[in-house]
Structure 1
Amino acid sequence: MKPIVSKDSIVYFNDECYAALNAYLEKANHSKIFILVDSNTYENCYTHFMSKIEKEYEIEVLEIEPGEINKNIDTCSSIWSVLAEYGADRKSLLINLGGGVVTDLGGFIACTYKRGINYINVPTSLLAMVDASVGGKTGVDLGNLKNMVGVISESEMVLVDTEFLGTLPVKQMCSGFAEMLKHGLIQDRAYWEKMSDLSKLTTDDLDQLIYDSVVIKNKIVFEDPTEQNIRKYLNFGHTLGHAIESFYLTHPEKPELLHGEAIAIGMILEGFISAAQLSLTEEELIIISHVILATFPKVDIDPNDYKAIMELLVHDKKNEKGNIYFVLLNTIGEAKYNCIVSDDLIIDAFEYYASL
């Protein structure tokens, strides 16, 4: 597969990944190399990754606990301290080997340590391959508020090796499909239709769909790297999805919700709002709801929690001057940003989801 060139980085796929990495490492002559992993990727991915590095380098492994709950400033502080302890300088390199938590957090650590060191992302989850691979968004959560602290700065390169997907639990694979479905909904009806029946996909199909998903995201980010306009499309499903995810993160008595599972709910809710407020048809809304629920079983959201979830919307990063802005759909494959939605319509959306 041909590498995908973004503003300041290049995404390599499968066989090309490690040829590009080895050429880069030999040429760059970094003073030290650090590899950030969580305990899962250290166990399941590290050996395979290291077997692809052809020369001997001074490498230190930095291991964190897995899970969104650890994507915070405290974890960053610990890693910054370890980097300082091991003498990391501005010629050091950080390789982030893991899912979205590792790549988001590791990118932020690299961008801020000594005002910035080089980093490479090696996403090991489907979600990270199609979402974190392009665009340079790095960051951590502030309490239960998603990605509130971060910077936009692209990695030296991204290595998408789909062999890592064989290590993922089914729930984690499904979580990544949410972002792929979103890419079709906001930008490409034909891609959405390919994604609409996951039961028929082969391994080769999945590799191509991952590639096409990265192409869709890269096209948007290339035109609007700092999210002034069309990059906001990528937030479809995320305004309410992030609020739901944040609410469930701080209520341990609730079922665990992965990022993609929360975004799947958000896409149905925001699909309903699109049909009520824009030109998305009732038929399209039914199709969207059916396709998403075929992969993501419905979550019973207590109606008593609607208001508490909605209160978290004030922290959404798209907000400006006190307005809560949504990304909605005119039709499948065409989005509109900066839409203002009434509280009553949001409640109606929750009730629609509950009725499915």
Structure 2
Amino acid sequence: MQTIQASNYPIYFNEKGYEALNLHLKENKYSNLFIIVDSNTNEECLPLFLPYLETELTIEIIEFEAGEENKNIETCVQIWNVLTELGADRKSLVINLGGGVVTDLGGFVASTFKRGIDFINIPTTLLSMVDASVGGKNGVDLGNLKNQIGVFNLPTMVIVDTNYLETLPQNEMRSGLAEMLKHGLIYDKAYWEQFLDLKAIDFADFDELIYRSVAIKNEIVTLDPTEKNIRKSLNFGHTLGHAIESYFLENENKTTLLHGEAIAVGMILESYISFDKDLISESEYIQIKTTIKSIFDDIIFLENDIDPILELLIHDKKNEYGTIQFALIEGIGKIKINQSVENELILKAFSDYKS
């Protein structure tokens, strides 16, 4: 697969990435190398990665406990302290080997340590390959509020190696699939239609689907790096999806949702809102709802769940001047940003989801 050139950094695929990484290490005089992993990727992915490394640099492994609940400033402080104790300086290199939590948090740690050191993302989950590792967003959660603290800062390179997907459980694969579905819904109708019958997909060609998803996100981000305009389209399904994810994360009576599981619900809800606003047809809405529900289990919402979810919307990063902003689809494959939605319509969407 051809390398994708993002804004000022390349996205390599499979073996070509390791060749580029080793050449980069030879050509740049780094003082030392730090690999940030979580407890899962330390066990499952690091043994697959290390044999590819060709360097005489001192390598230090920094591990933190896996899970969205650890994507916070406290974990960053711990890692900053470890970097300091191990003699990291402005010529150090950080490699983030992991899913979205690792690449988001590791990128933020590197971007802020000594005002910024080089970092490379090697995503190991489907979600992080097609979403979190592309676009230069780095950050952490503030309590249960998603990605409230962060910076835009670009990695030196990204390496997408789909062999890491063999380490994933099925629910993590489905979680990543949600973002791929989103890319079709907002940008490429033909791409969306490839997922209408999952049984018909030849998973020997799955690398090509991943490649197209990365390309779509990169095309959008390149047009609007700091989310002033068209990049807001990537938030489709995320306004309600993030609120649902945050609510389930903080509520001890709920089972924590994976990011893609929450976004899948968000896309159905926001597709209903698009339908109610006459932006998509009823047949398009039914196709979206049926397809997503055929892949993801239904999430149970009780009557007393909805108001707390709506209250979380006020913290959404896309809000401007106190107004909640939605990105809605205007026909499959097209998007309409900066849309205001009244609470009554959101409640109708939840009611339809549960029906």
Question: In the alignment, what sits opposite 1:135?
Answer: 135
State the alpha-carbon separation in 1 of the partners of residues 202 and 30 from structure 2: 40
1:87 counterpart = 2:87: yes
Question: In the alignment, what sits opposite 2:147?
Answer: 147
Please list the CA deviations of residues 121-165 of structure 1 after superposition, one character each: whole Å capped at 9, or x if unmatched.
000000000002210000000000000000011100000000000
Question: In the alignment, what sits opposite 1:67?
Answer: 67
State the alpha-carbon separation in 1 of the partners of residues 100 and 223 from structure 2: 23
State the alpha-carbon separation in 1 of the partners of residues 92 and 296 from structure 2: 41
Question: In the alignment, what sits opposite 1:17?
Answer: 17
8 Å Cα contact 2:271-2:329 kept in structure 1: yes
1:184 counterpart = 2:184: yes
Question: In the alignment, what sits opposite 1:207?
Answer: 207
State the alpha-carbon separation in 2 of the partners of residues 202 and 164 from structure 1: 19
Match of 1:291, as an amino acid?
Answer: T
Displacement of 1:256 in angstroms is: 2.2
Counterparts of residues 161-172 of structure 1 (less than 5 Å):
161-172=161-172
Question: In the alignment, what sits opposite 2:194?
Answer: 194
State the alpha-carbon separation in 1 of the partners of residues 206 and 89 from structure 2: 39
Match of 1:260, as an amino acid?
Answer: G
Please list the CA deviations of residues 93-125 of structure 1 after superposition, one character each: whole Å capped at 9, or x if unmatched.
000000000000000000000000000000000
8 Å Cα contact 1:11-1:133 kept in structure 2: no
Please list the CA deviations of residues 181-227 of structure 1 after superposition, one character each: whole Å capped at 9, or x if unmatched.
00000000000001222223233321000000011000000000000
Is the partner of 1:62 in helix, strand or coil?
strand
Counterparts of residues 1-356 of structure 1 (less than 5 Å):
1-355=1-355
State the alpha-carbon separation in 2 of the partners of residues 182 and 303 from structure 1: 28
Displacement of 1:326 in angstroms is: 0.3
State the alpha-carbon separation in 2 of the partners of residues 15 and 105 from structure 1: 25
State the alpha-carbon separation in 2 of the partners of residues 343 and 276 from structure 1: 13
Please list the CA deviations of residues 247-299 of structure 1 after superposition, one character each: whole Å capped at 9, or x if unmatched.
00001221221000000000000000000013200000000001101110111
CA RMSD between the two structures = 0.8
State the alpha-carbon separation in 1 of the partners of residues 136 and 198 from structure 2: 29
Displacement of 1:34 in angstroms is: 0.1
State the alpha-carbon separation in 1 of the partners of residues 256 and 144 from structure 2: 14
Gaps of 5+ in 2: none
State the alpha-carbon separation in 2 of the partners of residues 197 and 152 from structure 1: 37
Is the partner of 2:339 in helix, strand or coil?
strand
Match of 2:111, as an amino acid?
Answer: C
Match of 2:255, as an amino acid?
Answer: P
8 Å Cα contact 1:118-1:156 kept in structure 2: yes
Displacement of 1:9 in angstroms is: 1.2
Which of 297-306 and 118-127 deviates more? 297-306
TM-score by length of 1: 0.99
Displacement of 1:4 in angstroms is: 0.4
State the alpha-carbon separation in 2 of the partners of residues 300 and 287 from structure 1: 21
TM-score by length of 2: 0.99
Is the partner of 2:146 in helix, strand or coil?
strand
Displacement of 1:28 in angstroms is: 1.1
Gaps of 5+ in 1: none
The aligned length equals 355
Is the partner of 1:57 in helix, strand or coil?
coil
State the alpha-carbon separation in 2 of the partners of residues 284 and 228 from structure 1: 28
Displacement of 1:6 in angstroms is: 0.7
State the alpha-carbon separation in 2 of the partners of residues 149 and 116 from structure 1: 16
State the alpha-carbon separation in 2 of the partners of residues 81 and 199 from structure 1: 49
Match of 2:338, as an amino acid?
Answer: N
State the alpha-carbon separation in 2 of the partners of residues 197 and 138 from structure 1: 34
Which of 53-62 and 118-127 deviates more? 53-62
State the alpha-carbon separation in 1 of the partners of residues 125 and 198 from structure 2: 17
8 Å Cα contact 2:104-2:132 kept in structure 1: yes
State the alpha-carbon separation in 2 of the partners of residues 87 and 279 from structure 1: 56
Is the partner of 2:137 in helix, strand or coil?
coil
8 Å Cα contact 1:133-1:214 kept in structure 2: no
Displacement of 1:228 in angstroms is: 0.3
